[in-house]
Amino acid sequence: MKAQSEQISKYFGQTAYNIRFLNRGNLHQITELNAHVMNNIDDPVMYHPPYDVELLSFCLCEGLAIGVFYENRLVAYQVTYYSDSRCEDPGADLGIPNIRTRNAAQFHGIAVHSLCRSRGFGLAMTKYAIHAVRNARVSHAAATCHPDNLHSLTILFTSGFRIKGLKNKYGGKLRYILHKEFGGDGFSPGVRAVADHKDIKTQKRMLAEGYVGVGTEKSDEGYGIVFAR
C-alpha cells in the first residue's frame, strides 16, 4: 500500500489534500458526496453516480477506487472496475465481443465537491487509474460522458479516449461511449470533420460512417466535437 501511495503522489504532486485508496468503510462518505454533487450540479442528467450499493461494494473490493480527503472529509473520488459477470460489459456498447474477464476496465464515477473543482483532481485520478489498469494488463478501457460535460470530455480526450458511440443509457440519459485501447489501435486519421456537440443526429450519422471523436473545438455556439476517420 505504501508503494501504491507513493505512485499516487506522482500524479497529484505536492498537495494539502490526503490522497488514498477507498474501501467498503468509505461507502457512507461516497454516498454523501454523490448527494452533494447531485444537489449542486446545473443539470442532474449530466451526472450518473454509482448508486447501486452492491456494485459499488464490489468495485471497492475488486476494482480501483481513489479518494481525495481534506480534514478527513471525502471531497473527490474516482471508481474503476474490471469487467465481471456482476458488472456491465463495456464490449456491448463498443461492438467488441468477449472482452470480459479482466480484459477490460470501465471508468465509472468521478465526483468532485463543488468547493474543490478546478484543482485538477479529475485528470489526476484518471491518469492514475490508466496507469493502474495498464499494469493489470488490461487491453481496453471504456467510459461514458454526457455531450454537455465539456470538462469530463476534455479529461477523457487528454487521457487518450475516443468517442465510438452515442446512445441513451442509465434510464434514458444520453451518453458518449468512449474507448481507449492500450498498446495502440493503429488508427491513422485521414479525414477530419467537426459537428456541434448538440447536433446529435449529425454525430450519430458520422459515427455510423466510421468516424470517431478525437477532441473538441471552440465555436460560436460553444464547442464542437472533432471527428476523424
Q: Which domain holds residue 130?
A: 2-161
* pTM, full prediction: 0.82
Look at residue 120 and tell me if it is in a domain. yes
Whether 2 has a pLDDT exceeding 50, the answer reads no
Q: Which amino acid is at 171?
A: G
Domain for residue 87, yes or no?
A: yes
Phi, psi of 84 (to 5 degrees): -155, 160
> How many domains is the chain built from?
1
Rounded to 10 degrees, what is the CA torsion of 153, 157, 159, 161?
100
**Low-confidence winner among 44-48, 67-71, 103-107, 113-117 (lowest mean pLDDT):** 44-48
Please give the mean pLDDT across all residues of the chain. Answer: 81
The CATH code of the domain that includes 14 is: 3.40.630.30
In a domain, 44, yes or no: yes
Average pLDDT over residues 148-159: 92
Whole-number Å distance between alpha carbons of 73 and 75: 6
- Residues contacting residue 31 through CB under 8 Å, at least 6 positions apart: none
- Which of 33-37, 39-43, 147-151, 225-229 has the lowest average pLDDT? 39-43
pLDDT confidence of 1, banded at 50, 70, 90?
A: very low
Q: At 194, which helix (H) or strand (E)?
A: strand 192-196
Q: For residue 57, name the pLDDT band (cuts at 50, 70, 90).
A: confident
DSSP string, 69-129: EETTEEEEEEEEEE--TTS--HHHHHT--S--TTSEEEEEEEEE-GGG-SSSHHHHHHHHH
216 located within any domain: no
Q: Is residue 218 part of a domain?
A: no
In a domain, 176, yes or no: no
Q: What is the pLDDT of residues 184-197, one digit of tens each?
A: 766 777 899 999 99
Residue 63 resides in a domain: yes
pLDDT for position 146: 92
Q: Classify residue 170: in a domain, yes or no.
A: no
Supply the pLDDT for residue 134: 80
